Chains A and B, each alone.
Chain A
Amino acid sequence: MSTEQIEILLIEDNPDDAELTIRALKKHNLANKLVWVKDGAEAMDFIFAAGAYTGQSPKNHPKLILLDLRLPKVDGLEVLQKIKSDEQTKLIPVVVLTSSTEDRDIAESYKLGVNSYLSKPVSFDEFIRVVSEVGLYWLLLNRPPVT
């Protein structure tokens, strides 16, 4: 794994959704420094520099985490909880991008400190629009705190 600063961590178990997401981000040149992990456990390893990612600088945090909720091994909400309860990582913007529109999931995500919650639109156009806007907003418009 390269040590250069990555911008987006995409946590998504569905390869089709991942491909659509990456394609949407690519259109705006936002996918150059993107890492895609396929389950919650790998996501935790990446964020906390453990497992396969041991040795990577734990300070090398992504600028944005796109998180799906239904994930194998470690559930998305648990990943969110770990990120937001750790002093080192709690300032990383986390956007939940999931197909769940359950009120319970939305409420729980916000309780855990999510920065934004989006449900994946079924329509391709909508999906591309939502993902592009999220990328543009958090990477270009939003001003993160200086760490």
Chain B
Amino acid sequence: MKLNEVTPLTMKHLAVTISLIIVAAASRVWPLQSLGSTVGWITFYPAVMVISIYGGLWSGLLATLTICLIVIFFWSLIVTQPFIKNTADWLGVAVFIFTGTMISSVAEAMIRARERVKKNNVQLETANRKLESEITQRQEAEENLRQINIKLEAMNKELEAFSYSVSHDLRGPLRAIDGFSRILLQDYMNTLDDEGKRLLNIVSNNTKKMGQLIDDILSFSRVGREEIGLSEINMGKLVKDVLGELNQDAVGRKIKIEVRPLPDAHADSSMIRQVLFNLLSNAIKFTKPRESAFIEVGCNPGVPPSDKGGRSGSAENVYYVKDNGVGFDMKYVSKLFGVFQRLHGADEFEGTGIGLAIVKRVIERHGGRVWAEGKINEGATFSFTLPGIILKK
């Protein structure tokens, strides 16, 4: 026990000590005096106990010593007969001093323990309060984030609606430009010279291009706005259907298409059809320079994530479309999925560059990932994942 940690002896402690000693001595004198010396220290022990429990070590020791002094020197002044009459009584003094010291020490230890508990409680409370305020802050932050998210979603919807209506309304005037320049070409065939015809043809070609761009924006926007309707999709069958649709593009070419076994997917079938259509038509398009094209559609079954909560079948399947076409430089891989991003000149391969952007949008709306690997002149592989679990919206 370190002395500087001991409960200090304050005036209040001193006062309590003295009054209790007086009470103890007084009650020893009357009414207990009449019982004779057989009761000895009977009132002084409790006094020391109460004093030391109240005031700690110093108060206890002070009380013990004061009581000894009183009984040894001043007792005969209070009452007629002395407290100490024989050797046994001196032994009693020694026992009292020893016991008093012990009681004071134990009491001090008790006080200290109590204070420690009190201090710990205060600390605990502070920590609790801090934790509570942190939780509140976090909840507020989360709420804020939610609000911002809702706002963002609304803004996004608005933007989608805007881009939709703008591109939609652009079609009318475009139809007029194309239509009337064609009418001019038809009705004034004889009065127009070759240069005039050439210029009108440029107008007409560009309206066609712009029409295609508008249609692409619209279908890109539709992919973002439409609700996802989930169903079981037989991917093998869907790939065959899409390849059937693409037959026209493959006429007169030597293309070997290998479709490996594909696991079913749980997704929006019309959107996934579009994904497969875009990937496969790209594969057919970009293998055009090859004398014999090879296209492979397959799936690497995913490793099920650690089976938390026993969600079986939550494996993520990686579907891929691989070709031996012109490929691309991995330097530009980040541009590949952007809207209207093209890595080839318009005279090399046709297209506006919307196909892969749509693929990315569809897959990401399904909670999947999409990526590409390729090498110039050695072909490209486009992969996408679809989670096997049931998605919410």
CB within 8 Å of B: which residues of A?
Answer: 14, 16-17, 20, 23, 99-101, 103, 120-125, 127
- Inter-chain CA distance A139–B218, complex, in Å, is 33
Contact stretch, chosen from B117-125, B170-178, B302-310, B369-377: B170-178
Which residues of chain A are near B181, meaning CB under 8 Å?
124
A17 contacts B175, C-beta separation under 8 Å? yes
Given A16-B176, A101-B218: A122 and B171 within 8 A (CB)? yes
Given A14-B172, A17-B175, A99-B171: A122 and B183 within 8 A (CB)? no
B182 at the interface (CB under 8 A from A): yes
Among A23, A103, A121, A124, the most chain B Cβ lie within 10 Å of the Cβ of A124
Given contacts A17-B176, A122-B175, 7 further A-B contacts (CB under 8 A): A16-B179, A99-B168, A99-B172, A120-B171, A123-B207, A124-B204, A127-B175
Which residues of chain B are near A123, meaning CB under 8 Å?
175, 178, 207-208, 211
- Inter-chain CA distance A106–B294, complex, in Å, is 40
Question: Nearest residue in B to A101 (C-beta to C-beta)?
Answer: B218
A122 contacts B182, C-beta separation under 8 Å? no
Which residues of chain A are near B211, meaning CB under 8 Å?
122-123
B115 at the interface (CB under 8 A from A): no
Contact with A along B72-107 (1 / 0, CB 8 A): 000000000000000000000000000000000000
A-B contact number at CB 8 A? 47
B47 at the interface (CB under 8 A from A): no
A124 contacts B179, C-beta separation under 8 Å? yes
B180 at the interface (CB under 8 A from A): yes
A122 contacts B218, C-beta separation under 8 Å? no
Least Cβ–Cβ distance between B193 and chain A, in angstroms: 22
B245 at the interface (CB under 8 A from A): no
B179 contacts A20, C-beta separation under 8 Å? yes
B168 contacts A100, C-beta separation under 8 Å? yes
Which residues of chain A are near B204, meaning CB under 8 Å?
124
- Inter-chain CA distance A17–B182, complex, in Å, is 14
Mark out the residues of chain B between 198 and 219 whose CB falls within 8 Å of any chain A CB in the assembled complex.
204, 207-208, 211, 214-215, 218
- Inter-chain CA distance A40–B176, complex, in Å, is 22
Which residues of chain A are near B180, meaning CB under 8 Å?
16
Least Cβ–Cβ distance between A73 and chain B, in angstroms: 19
- Inter-chain CA distance A102–B270, complex, in Å, is 16
- Inter-chain CA distance A59–B183, complex, in Å, is 37
Which residues of chain A are near B175, meaning CB under 8 Å?
16-17, 20, 99, 120-124, 127
B179 contacts A127, C-beta separation under 8 Å? yes
A124 contacts B178, C-beta separation under 8 Å? yes
Least Cβ–Cβ distance between A76 and chain B, in angstroms: 15
Given A16-B180, A20-B179, A23-B183: A122 and B214 within 8 A (CB)? yes
Least Cβ–Cβ distance between A103 and chain B, in angstroms: 8
Mark out the residues of chain B between 207 and 253 whose CB falls within 8 Å of any chain A CB in the assembled complex.
207-208, 211, 214-215, 218, 226
Which residues of chain A are near B215, meaning CB under 8 Å?
122
A122 contacts B207, C-beta separation under 8 Å? yes
Which residues of chain A are near B179, meaning CB under 8 Å?
16, 20, 124, 127
